[in-house]
A and B are shown apart, each in its own frame.
Chain A
Amino acid sequence: MADVTFTVDGKQLTAPAGTLLLEACKSAGIEVPAFCYYPGISLKAACRMCVVRIEKMPKLQTACTTPVAEGMVVQTETPEIAQARKATLQLLLGNHPLDCPVCDAGGECELQDMTFKYGAATSFYAEPKHHREEQKWSPVVYYDRPRCILCYRCISMCGEGMDVFALGIQNRGSSSVVAPNVPAQMSPDDLAHVDCEQCGMCIDACPVGALTSGTYRYKTRPWEMNHVSTICTHCGDGCKTTLGVRSTSDGSEIVRGDNRDKSGINGDFLCNKGRYAFDFANNETRLTQPLVRQPNGELKPVSWEAALDLVGKKFRELRDTRGGKSIGVIGSNRTTNEESYLLQKFARTVLGTNNIDHHRTADYVAFAQGLAGKAGLTASLNDTLTAPAIMILGGDPTIQAPGTAWNIRTNVRNKRARLYIANSSEIKLRRQAKAFAHIAPFSYGALASFIAGDDSATDSLTHAGADAASFHSFRDAVRAEESLLVLIGSEIRGADLKRLLAFGTTMPNRKFALLSDYVNSRGAADMGLLPDLLPGYTPLAGNTTFAEYNTPSAPGLDMLEIFEAAGKGELSALYVVGANPISRYGVDPSSLANTFVVVQDMFLTETAAIADVVLPAANLYEKSGSVTNSYGDLQLVSKAGDRAGVRTDFEMIVRIADKMGANMQALVPFGKGTRADMGQSRGAQSGEADRHAVWLTANHLEPKLSPFDPFAILDEIQRLVPGYNLMRLQLLSGNDQHLEPAAGNLVQIANRRDLVLPANDSLFTSGTLGRYSAMLSDLQHNESLRPPTGLTQIQTAAD
């Protein structure tokens, strides 16, 4: 829209016509207070705090609902306005408990801030305040009505933002309360509850301490924490979460996660896992000492030195006697890019094997090959918020990638994006969809063919009672879109995926993304945790990029072949970093009886339990580095928590290589010409980024990084991995950047084995790691309390 010029507090401002005055003021650095206003959700004009004086208007006007107009003259701070705001605050405080000294929000409360600003310190009410008991709505959501100022943000967040509608208003006037969707009368325990996705967005949106989080309430004061922005370890969206961290006697403890600063790729969104499921770090079964299996079969704690010595000695011995081909390596979906890169480099250059794989949750190899040589065709998570049309084939973002689902809903709601969904299940996002094609189970291959133009595929797509014509109109509508974002679920793989992409790339203005399940699933594939491809999907044979590796050119064993080899007695050693293949792939533990198994993990998982050596690992929240989300967006991971006794996977790999007598300078190029400092110099324990050194690098000065610093290898990733030509300052300043490792000309490998195994996590599970989160367990238990057939059933039962 055309720009208009108007005056606020004597300053001449310009903004597009239709911009809300409050937003226009914000852009110009003029703060207009508001409780009920929240960007992106429907306007309320209920709190009356944003009143301003507009010339020629008889009354004060709400800046949150007034669009700017040409020539408008506005005052935002006058004695009259201050008095109006003060009076509103006095009214609110009349019933407010003023329990700020014990309130979670104390110190970061909008009501406190406004009271401080407008000085509504006097009260002239003699009558007692309304009091109502606090309610526990779920393990993670508590509601304290007396503190509530009824701004309705939570209700809109839940309804408009989450499409859950678990909250509403009950009663009228001064008796109004926010009420959850399972009233006490219909609840098995006679208490009111929320039946919802437990995302906690209501808590983030709450300007006061009315909604508090089950994991954080009454634990600490906001100013006692350090706030660390890092990336959530759970799903493939890679949302930023700001972790509140407090020092403890044996490290530093994460006490909360939120995204109230609305920063990062996820904007204001965070789901329940990003918000609460950091607590696995505090699980009492966490390993903090290396364990070595004794001749009697028991795992016994030993010193780090002893454990690393043993692993180094055994790995070297087995490599030298039985060859690198007898060693298998399994990497992780939750380690950083630097760790994954280092692991495969260690496997290929130190262990001398290509037997390396990871739990693949989407077929990124086919995706990369399908888009090979074509730049600009991959979508960023940011695109889901702005694309005028989006098609989702397979997958269920609401559960698998809640941030993606949030963006899509926001886009549909606020920008009227057109959403097309084809799925064999009636996934929840269909409620926002312009068209939903309900395909037969297991017909994603046919779907890919049909979208790509094969009309005969409708036979397989159509299930009983469905109309083939509707698939045609679906396809026609999608094809008619001038610009389209295509999100692909992990159901479409291999040749199907390539066929879909081959067709899609012939259409103009198409962008693609492949959804996977964990924070660095994409990074694991990009970094070459694959038996047949080097980092950046570079083929083993005839590659010049990684010539310095001097690796075997024959493909190694994949995940299943590694265990088959073990069963045949051909696997001398297995090195598992942050994975639980025994459970995930149903491996018979006895097949590994004659294999030397080393596991790096936080817990004694099914895989760790059969290991010869278990090394206690730091998790993603306890290290620094970078991760790449499903879309290919690279982001910075910053160390938040800390735990005495554990080490990062990066450090452990380096130390094992060192114990094996490897050329450390070649493995981790941590300094130009300096000697490896394998001792305890700066960063050695923590693995923190040495930003000073990064600055030195940028200025062509000699960095002196510790070899345990993951940034020591970032240079090499940047230099060698196709598509990872990242901008370091962007990364270090916390910005996301979109990478396209598939842009190069890739050699097509046909007939690769389909080893994609979707995690099939629910909203309240997260692979093996999720099992150690007390809050996720509570939420699963909470779900199990939900009546199987809804509220009407309870009513009947009660009658």
Chain B
Amino acid sequence: MPTLVSHPDEVKVVSRRFGMGAANIDKYIELDGYKAVQQAIAQGPEMSNWIINTMKASGLRGRGGAGFPTGMKWSFVPKQSEKPKYVLVNGDESEPGTCKDHVIFLHDPHAVIEGTMIAGLAIGSKLGFIYLRGEYRYLLKIVEKAVADAYAKGFLGKNIFGSGVDFDVITQTGAGAYEVGEESALMESLEGKRGVPRIKPPFPAVVGLYGGPTVINNAETIANAPHILLMGGEDYAKLGTERNGGTRLFGISGHVERPGVYELPMGYSLRKAIYDVAGGIKDGKKLKAVVPGGASCPVLTADEIDVGLDFDQMGKAGTMLGSGGIVVLDETVSIVEFALRTIAFYQHESCGWCIPCREGTDWIKKTMTRVYNGGGTRKDVDNIQYLADNMMGRTFCPLGDAAAMPTLGFVKKFRKEFEDYIDGHKAGTPIITVEQLVGAGH
């Protein structure tokens, strides 16, 4: 189990129970657990509106990476529906460099359950699913125990908290496909089909799981809901910046002194996050680059880190806040190697549905492998850029962009390094073999 880290600049909302044994239901209750859901139920007929308005006021934006306002998403679900409505918690945390949902499930699983109930009450659903990444099998036990404990207490099941409303929660794990982190592919997977995304529109709020209106939220987003109801939407919003309410979990990894998951206010400086919160570059080396929000975000150079960590500021900086996984690279890192590792991941994870992603990731990886192995030419760098350019915005789902964006970032911002590598590297003498680098199975 990873050691918990802490820093004075942290503002702990969703992480407030971390390390306090809140996976135990009694401890969770002691720490204000299941209060928010009861408070919502106490609103009587106004419950749904009250929840949605509070969420809207909080300015909470989806923590999965796309940053869609959560309250608005919940309000899109039709009040009346012939088909059952569902709440779906996306715990298929797979973006390389991201490890925040993992700590929530580990330390505070009841917050996810309570958040699921709140979302259910808001949209009029009676059934929630918690979809956990397949590789998080060791967390499944914790989550399943939490669900069982909630049932044992009578918090889940029939007539929850005397509301007259029934609510059930079912847990499910994936089978190891990154693509299933995409919301509609996750629904396909949950329905027992191939994890391939769906055509949108219709969006899940209208036609989702089993054809019913569905709210699907990232686990961190959902875990925030009880806290927001308890502290009030406006107060939560004030913690962050304009249009970027609240706080967020950032998983800082790579060449820093104190890697770990930190909860920082939205808009917090990236430079401070690296140099203050995470303790700066390890062993006194120099910073080379930062991948700021999971592997799919375009890289920032050492000169580009004076930017606030919120959706809008990061967008202006030409990258993304993404999933909050900040990967810090020091001067020893070969960008060629790093770029190859990145595209190898997306090539391996491409579901293969659409041509640009299926073939594009494959050819970029092949070309980059040859470059890495010393058989590249400068023209290859152009070709990689051409391929990535022609994947951008052309694929069926965001996975294609997720592969193209970082690739473009690497070859544009570090073109000279690629060229120097090609010019100075003798054919057939890789630093380590490609198999060692990306795994033999890739």
A: residues with CB less than 8 A from B are 43, 45-48, 51, 58-60, 65, 83-84, 87-88, 91-92, 94-95, 124-127, 149-150, 169, 171-176
B351 touches A60 (CB 8 A): no
Interface residues of B in 214-232 (CB under 8 A from A): none
Q: Measured between C-beta atoms, what is the minimum distance from A432 to chain B in Å?
A: 18
Q: Is B20 at the interface (CB under 8 A from chain A)? A: no
Cβ-neighbour of A173 out of B194, B349, B390 (below 8 A): B349
Q: Would you list 27 pairs from A and B whose C-beta atoms are within 8 A, ordered by A residue?
A: A45-B354, A46-B353, A48-B354, A51-B394, A60-B394, A65-B199, A87-B386, A87-B387, A87-B390, A91-B355, A91-B356, A91-B390, A95-B359, A124-B379, A125-B367, A126-B375, A127-B367, A149-B355, A150-B352, A150-B355, A169-B352, A171-B352, A173-B350, A174-B347, A174-B359, A174-B362, A176-B352
Distance to closest chain A CB from B138 (angstroms): 25
A94→B363 contact, CB < 8 A: yes
Which of chain B's residues have a CB closer than 8 A to the CB of A51? 394
What's the nearest-Cβ distance from chain B to residue A129, in Å?
11
Q: Give chain A residues whose Cβ lies under 8 Å from the Cβ of B370.
A: 126-127
Interface residue from B194, B347, B359 paired with A169 (Cβ < 8 Å): B194
Cβ distance B197 to chain A, nearest Cβ, rounded Å: 10
| Chain B contacts with A in 338-372, Cβ cutoff 8 A | 347-356, 358-363, 366-367, 370
Q: Are B348 and A173 in contact (CB under 8 A)?
A: yes
Please give, as numbers and ranges, the residues of chain A lying within 8 Å of B361 by CB-CB distance. Answer: 173-174
Please tell me if B383 contacts chain A, counting CB pairs below 8 Å.
Answer: yes
Query: In whole Å, how far is B375's beta carbon from the nearest beta carbon of chain A?
Result: 8
Does B395 touch A at the CB level, under 8 Å?
yes
Residue of B nearest to A89 (CB): B355
B interface vs A, CB < 8 Å? 177, 194, 199, 347-356, 358-363, 366-367, 370, 375, 379, 383, 386-387, 390, 393-396
Taken together as a complex, chains A and B put the C-alpha atoms of A171 and B362 apart, in Å, by: 14
List A contacts of B359 (CB < 8 A).
91-92, 94-95, 174
Bound: A44/B145 CA distance, A: 40
Shortest distance in angstroms between B28's beta carbon and chain A's nearest beta carbon?
39
**Complex-state Cα separation, A84 to B352, whole angstroms:** 18
Of all A-B residue pairs in the complex, the 10 with the closest CB atoms, nearest first, are A87-B390, A91-B359, A176-B352, A174-B362, A173-B350, A59-B393, A127-B366, A173-B352, A46-B354, A124-B383
In the complex, what distance in Å separates the CA atom of A92 from the CA atom of B356? 9
In angstroms, Cα B241 to Cα A338, docked, is 85
Interface centre among B347, B352, B375, B379 (most CB of A within 10 A): B352
The interface residues of chain A lying within 8 Å CB-to-CB of B396 are: 45-46, 48
- Shortest Cβ distance from B419 into chain A, in angstroms? 17
Tell whether A47 pairs with B355 under 8 Å between CB atoms, given A83-B390, A127-B370.
yes
A242 to B347 CA separation, bound complex (whole angstroms): 43
Asked if B355 and A172 sit within 8 Å, CB to CB, the answer is no
What separation, in Å, do the CA atoms of A87 and B355 have in the docked complex? 10
Known: A84-B390, A126-B370. 10 other contacts (CB 8 A): A45-B199, A47-B355, A48-B355, A60-B394, A87-B356, A91-B359, A125-B363, A173-B347, A174-B359, A176-B358
Give min CB distance, A382 to chain B, whole Å.
30
Contacting residues, chain B, for A59 (C-beta < 8 A): 393-394
Q: How far is the CA of A126 from the CA of B352 in the complex (A)?
A: 22
Docked-complex contact B366 and A125, CB < 8 angstroms: yes
CA–CA, A1 to B191, complex, Å? 32
Which one of B356, B375, B383 lies within 8 Å of A88 (CB-CB)? B356
A173 to B364, CA, bound (A): 13
Tell me whether A48 and B356 are in contact (CB under 8 A): yes
A65 proximity list for chain B (CB < 8 A): 199
B-side contacts of A83, CB under 8 Å: 390
Instruction: Considering the complex, give the chain B residue whose CB is closest to the CB of A88.
Output: B355
Once bound together, how far apart are the Cα atoms of A88 and B363, in whole Å?
12
Q: Using Cβ atoms and an 8 Å threshold, which residues of chain B touch A46?
A: 353-355, 396
Kindly provide the distance from the CB of B180 to the nearest chain A CB, expressed in whole angstroms: 11
Q: Is the CB of B352 within 8 A of A48?
A: no
Query: Are B177 and A172 in contact (CB-based, < 8 A)?
Result: yes
Report the bound CA distance from A58 to B392 in whole Å: 12
**Chain B proximity of A506: nearest CB distance (Å):** 36
Q: What is the minimal beta-carbon distance from A790 to any residue of chain B, in angstroms? A: 21
How far is A414 from B37 in the complex, measured between Cα atoms in Å?
A: 43
On chain B, the residues within 8 Å of A95 by CB distance are 359
- Asked whether A88 lies within 8 Å of B394 as measured between CB atoms, the reply is yes
From B194, B350, B353, B393, A60 is in contact (CB under 8 Å) with B393
A783 nearest CB across to chain B (Å): 29
Q: In the assembled complex, how far is the CB of residue A696 from the closest CB belonging to chain B, in whole angstroms? A: 55
> Given the complex of chains A and B, what is the CA–CA distance between A83 and B393 in angstroms?
13
How far apart are A21's CB and chain B's nearest CB, in angstroms? 14
How far apart are the CA atoms of A411 and B424 in the complex, in Å? 65
Inter-chain CA distance A175–B349, complex, in Å, is 11
A177 → B minimal CB distance (Å): 9
User: Closest CB of chain A to B359's CB: distance in Å?
Assistant: 4
Complex: chain B residue closest to A86, CB-CB: B390
Q: Which residue of chain A has the shortest Cβ distance to B369 in the bound complex?
A: A127
In the assembled complex, the Cα of A65 lies from the Cα of B201 at a distance in Å of 9
